Structure 1
Amino acid sequence: MPPSRGNPAPRHDMSVILVTGSYDHEIRFWEAWSGICSRTIARTGEAGQVNRLAISPDKRLLAAAIHKKINIYEIGSTSSDPIATLEAHTGNITAVCFHSEGKWLVTGSEDGTIKIWDLRTSQLFNNYDNSSPVNDVVIHPNQGELISCDQAGRVKLWDLSQNICQQELTPVHDLPMRSVTMAADGSLLIAGNNKGIIYVWKLHDENSGPPRFQAVTKFRAHNKYVTRCLLSPDAKYLATCSADTTVKIWTMTHNWEFHEDKVLVGHQRWVWDCAFSADSAYLITASSDHTARLWDMSSGESVRQYNGHHKAAVCCALHDGAG
């Protein structure tokens, strides 16, 4: 994140990429520390809200899930026109993430499929039938597996090399699982559902066969929807966003239990999305109150608010690490 409060980042500093998307059909780039909007992609006349955003590992591309399609934008450009548009989903796209090398893009959709795209050709490379609307997808840190969650209440681990689902976790059938996150070392898997319950699984290495996850705990994080759950890069924090307008920060004890560390209060409506800084010291959140906020994890205080969207801000992306 920016170097210090007294030394804001230069106006065109590309070391920190912060982007938000909204139901107002706009994508906004922000100077993280000053709060100034440095660029707006206004999709005038184009149908569909911006659902999810992802920044490529090299900070060159922005993938925006817009209703049933994905627009790929060049971050260093001033043009509002995408350099590619990926179309094959027949339902709302709910997840988008880049593979570590930036050559592949993974998307999940309410059409019940997970798709892998080759960004070098802008063509569909592979398709997985989940048989239920997909709510979230993340790429395993080993880059060889995907983890998804869906409306049927399932968390699935997909093996990319064998094109199969190698493990299915279903705490409660037909209770939608809203969001999924994984520790950077692949040892911990966490998901949150529509009832505000968080489920935690740890990696269990068996003597034979592939490693599998086993349940270790569950707890109620909120009394309403969990819209997003996210582990910090250092796995010190778990952030849970909710329909109750709050973001809660949890820390894990030595016996896999989670303790409520802070409640981030300031948003006036649902909080839809969040993103940690690379050093886990800051959190960005996006809310239906039209704003995004920057939070200091040490104090739990909101240190910057990003104003400019005219409707709900429902997604955000942050990349302040090495490009």
Structure 2
Amino acid sequence: SHLLAASYSDNQVRLWQGDGTLVRGLDGHEAEVGTLAFSPDGSYLATGSADGRLKLWSSEGTLLNSFEGHNSRLRGVAFSPEGTQVLSAGEDGLVRIWQVENEFMQPLGIHDHEVWQVRYLSPSSSLVGSFVSLSRGDIRVWNPAGELVQQFEQFALGELYSLAVHPQQDQLMAGDSRGMVYEIDLTRGEIDSWSADELSVFALTYSPDGRWLVSGGNSPPLKVWRSLAQGGYELDQTLEGHQARVWDLTFSPDGSYLTSASIDGTVRLWEWDSPSPGDVPPLALMPSEVLAGDHSPFWGLAISPEGDRILSASRSGVLNLWNRWGEQLLKLQVTESSGLTRVAWSPDGQLIAVARTDHRVDLYSPEGLLISQLRNHQGTVLTLAFSPDGRYLVSGGEDRRLVRWDIEKVRSLNGLEYGCQRVQDYLSQQSELEPLFSQCQD
């Protein structure tokens, strides 16, 4: 049946059936909604508000994208006849044209709270190609097409902050602000939990063989949990050394060492002790290396696929790269005016993704050459994850949005050719821009 959409002064849009039955309210604008329009085929709804934003919804009412470009109330929105573009008119005297679909990125559903973690499931998982997102209120599982297939909510005692995926099984671990850890079986939908700490758990990671789980957070000591044959985990050891909150943890791909990043301004490497016969070796109680940057808090960690280089992002805007023996290979001031949060290394080792507090994601070569900059978020980017095949990068953040970037298309983009396609109609109508039009024609 056809739906009717109406905008209201209480900042909402409501969808109605033709007989007057309310279908749902669309909550997202921060001021009165004064204009709206359906796309020609009815698959999209665009809404404009006094908050200066244009929002794009699916016909079912799922928020797909939010566009910021006006410094005023929006007075009109309209779709192009083909439905590929949507226009917004503002009191600032501007008409802006937006792409409905972008071949380089796919906006996914929006969480009710900021997105703290995104992780792809293991290639050995039965759900290969699927990925998981965590906000402080829920956990969502997405299939390889970017469709929501599973959701876990209202199960945690506190706010969720950390996420780890099992390297072989369809299993997740999540940590919350009350020190609880939740073991989630994706196949059965069952959740077990235990108290891991008295303070928030901000970081979780599995060892590559799945035998160990490490937790860290507001309580600086790291806790190493042993997987039990009968199920569950027991505390095996505690690693002292950090002086403040631990934001990130990750094992090297071969499992030979663990790294931890803290707001105390250090990254620490923990190696296994030499095993005695028949014993499972514990991690050494003292770090083998303590890597210090510029004493700025560290948030993000990533280890190269070969396991020989360690990357860390600091809140002072510096990207640090060390080898596993503690020698600094690169110190790059990515930005002077904002900070960095997370980093991710592509599976082929050729690309580094860097999340920033100024809403951007940078793509660098391992040598520190800027390759591309991805802009779609409207708040601090808090998490990044490459797909196992390296084709996609998923990002999430403060704006509650998930975005999946097609990295293959981003890397193969010819900027001049693409730019000419976008603006050639405009150039052809401006006589003073004839030289530029000719260049595009060439």
Larger Rg: 2
Q: Give CA-to-partner distance per residue, 1:185-222, whole Å, 9 cap, x none.
A: 22112212212112222111232643112222313123
SS in 2 for 1:120: coil
Q: How does 1:102-121 map to 2 (within 5 A)?
A: 102-121=169-188
> Is 1:315 aligned with 2:383?
yes
Separation in structure 1 between the aligned mates of residue 283 and residue 333 of structure 2, nearest angstrom: 33
Q: How does 1:172-183 map to 2 (within 5 A)?
A: 172=242, 175-183=244-252
Q: 1:87 to 1:224 in 2, by over 3 A?
A: same
Q: 1:136 to 1:143 in 2, by over 3 A?
A: same
- From 41, 44, 52, the counterpart of 2:117: 52
Separation in structure 2 between the aligned mates of residue 263 and residue 218 of structure 1, nearest angstrom: 16
**TM-score of the superposed pair, with normalisation by structure 1:** 0.80
Structure showing greater relative contact order (alpha-carbon pairs closer than 8 Å, 6 or more residues apart):
1
1:18 matched residue in structure 2: none
Question: What is the letter of the counterpart of residue 376 of structure 2?
Answer: G
- From 324, 340, 344, the counterpart of 1:271: 340
Q: How does 1:3-82 map to 2 (within 5 A)?
A: 37-43=104-110, 47-58=112-123, 59-77=128-146, 79=147, 81-82=148-149
Separation in structure 2 between the aligned mates of residue 51 and residue 231 of structure 1, nearest angstrom: 20
1:292 matched residue in structure 2: 361
Q: Give CA-to-partner distance per residue, 1:275-300, whole Å, 9 cap, x none.
A: 11112221111111101111101x31
CA displacement at 1:224 relative to structure 2: 1.2
CA displacement at 1:234 relative to structure 2: 0.9
CA displacement at 1:163 relative to structure 2: 2.0
List alignment gaps of at least 5 residues for structure 2: 1-62, 67-101, 392-442
1:169 matched residue in structure 2: 239
> Is 1:221 aligned with 2:288?
no
Determine if contact 1:113/1:127 at 8 Å carries over to the other structure.
Answer: yes
Separation in structure 1 between the aligned mates of residue 130 and residue 176 of structure 2, nearest angstrom: 21
> Is 1:196 aligned with 2:265?
yes
Determine if contact 1:234/1:279 at 8 Å carries over to the other structure.
Answer: no
Determine if contact 1:86/1:122 at 8 Å carries over to the other structure.
Answer: no
SS in 2 for 1:76: coil
Q: Give CA-to-partner distance per residue, 1:226-250, whole Å, 9 cap, x none.
A: 0012222211210111100121111
Q: 1:126 to 1:205 in 2, by over 3 A?
A: farther
> Is 1:89 aligned with 2:161?
no
CA displacement at 1:27 relative to structure 2: 9.3
Separation in structure 1 between the aligned mates of residue 361 and residue 164 of structure 2, nearest angstrom: 21
CA displacement at 1:177 relative to structure 2: 2.1
Question: What is the letter of the counterpart of residue 334 of structure 2?
Answer: G
2:310 matched residue in structure 1: 238
**TM-score of the superposed pair, with normalisation by structure 2:** 0.59
Separation in structure 1 between the aligned mates of residue 262 and residue 247 of structure 2, nearest angstrom: 5
Cα RMSD of the aligned pairs, angstroms, is 2.5
CA displacement at 1:136 relative to structure 2: 0.5
List alignment gaps of at least 5 residues for structure 1: 1-24, 29-34
Separation in structure 1 between the aligned mates of residue 295 and residue 142 of structure 2, nearest angstrom: 38
1:98 matched residue in structure 2: 165
Determine if contact 1:54/1:64 at 8 Å carries over to the other structure.
Answer: yes
Separation in structure 1 between the aligned mates of residue 200 and residue 64 of structure 2, nearest angstrom: 25
1:21 matched residue in structure 2: none
Q: Where does structure 1 differ by over 4 angstroms across 4 or more consecutive aligned residues?
A: 25-28
Determine if contact 1:227/1:272 at 8 Å carries over to the other structure.
Answer: yes
Determine if contact 2:115/2:383 at 8 Å carries over to the other structure.
Answer: yes
CA displacement at 1:180 relative to structure 2: 1.6
Separation in structure 2 between the aligned mates of residue 322 and residue 286 of structure 1, nearest angstrom: 17
Determine if contact 2:301/2:344 at 8 Å carries over to the other structure.
Answer: no
Q: Give CA-to-partner distance per residue, 1:92-148, whole Å, 9 cap, x none.
A: 322212212351111122220121100012220343432221111111111121011
